[in-house]
Amino acid sequence: MITTFAPAPGRHPVPVTDRRRRRLDALLRHSPAQPVFRARAARRLSVLAYHEIDDPTAFAAQMDRLLRLARPVSLDEVQRASVEDRPLPPRSVLVTFDDGDRSVVTEGLPVLARRSIPAVAFVVAGLVGGDQPFWWREAHFLARHGGTARSLPPGGAPEAVVRRMKALPDPDRRRSLAEMRVSATRRAPRQAQLSPEDLHTLRGSGVRIGNHTLGHPCLDHCDEPTVRTEIVDAHRSLERWLGEPPTAFAYPNGNFDSRADGVLRELGYRLGFLFDHRHEALLPRNPLRISRLRVNASTSLHRFDTILSGLHPAVHRLRGGT
């Protein structure tokens, strides 16, 4: 149970855990180590990895802070640096979004366009043009409503169920989701996904479109034919919609897979991205395995600053994070 302080009149209670997190973020932001890490970060590439835009006001504040502290770069600039073997400018930052949530168009794009900040959206191609929810959101909902499966521990919290499903061999994950659909007391609500027209809107406003597989499985838990199908079929769909092949790929869940790396090289991909909460060199050492920093649209500005500097990722690793 999470304890809360008594709220002031007209205000909602704030969980103690949230208060502690904010206090820690503020302490890190004002730590004597922060200027040291910020100076080091000037000589590295920061690739920010977002998902949905759940707080557009906070996201706008983050982008304003980004413009003050760093230099936004485009996917083309990162790609060109790799091809020409020439480091990016100091304090370079690339903004990316995974999955293709519609809020990137409705909430994120206006913020980016007003500030002329380029970005990349890595899209789950098999969902484009439909209303099927992301599988992990559906699983979370079904677990909340009694959904069970033979490969899953009974009575687990929804977050734990999703984590367990990500660790299963992919056929078991798919089967578990099918079993949860049958056993849950309610069906998961539909979710409006990006349309092909949305992809053109994003690209026309400075947001490049990248490949994030066909259905977002963890590729290292798939067999080799599935790895190839997930990448190649998504690649072909995006090329058909956009009239040009994608040249950048983001690994679902950040899980690198050497077989996928081979397929990407066959298809002519120039850049590949992880989700490991680390900085990258201004000239990426391996363009198909570029590190990214985990950030949310609702991340506090204190934490945003320490993520950009590298202090938060360093503390995260010291505390056992991966």
pLDDT of 14 reads 37
| Percentage, residues of the chain above pLDDT 70 | 94
Are 132 and 190 in contact by the 8 Å Cβ rule? The answer is: yes
Helix extents (H) in the chain: 16-29, 33-41, 56-69, 75-84, 103, 109-115, 135-144, 158-167, 170-183, 196-204, 224-242, 258-267, 301-309, 311-318
> Is the pTM for the entire model greater than 0.85?
yes
Structure-block tokens of residue 30: 């004002």
Q: How does DSSP assign 222-272, residue by residue? A: S-HHHHHHHHHHHHHHHHHHHSS---EEE-GGG---HHHHHHHHHHT--EE
pLDDT digits (tens, 9 = 90+) for 164-192: 999 999 999 999 999 999 999 999 999 99
Domain residues of the chain, as ranges? Answer: 123-195+216-240
pLDDT digits (tens, 9 = 90+) for 229-249: 999 999 999 999 999 999 999
Rounded mean pLDDT, 276-289: 97
pLDDT of 195 reads 98
The DSSP element (H or E) to which 50 belongs, if any, is: strand 44-50
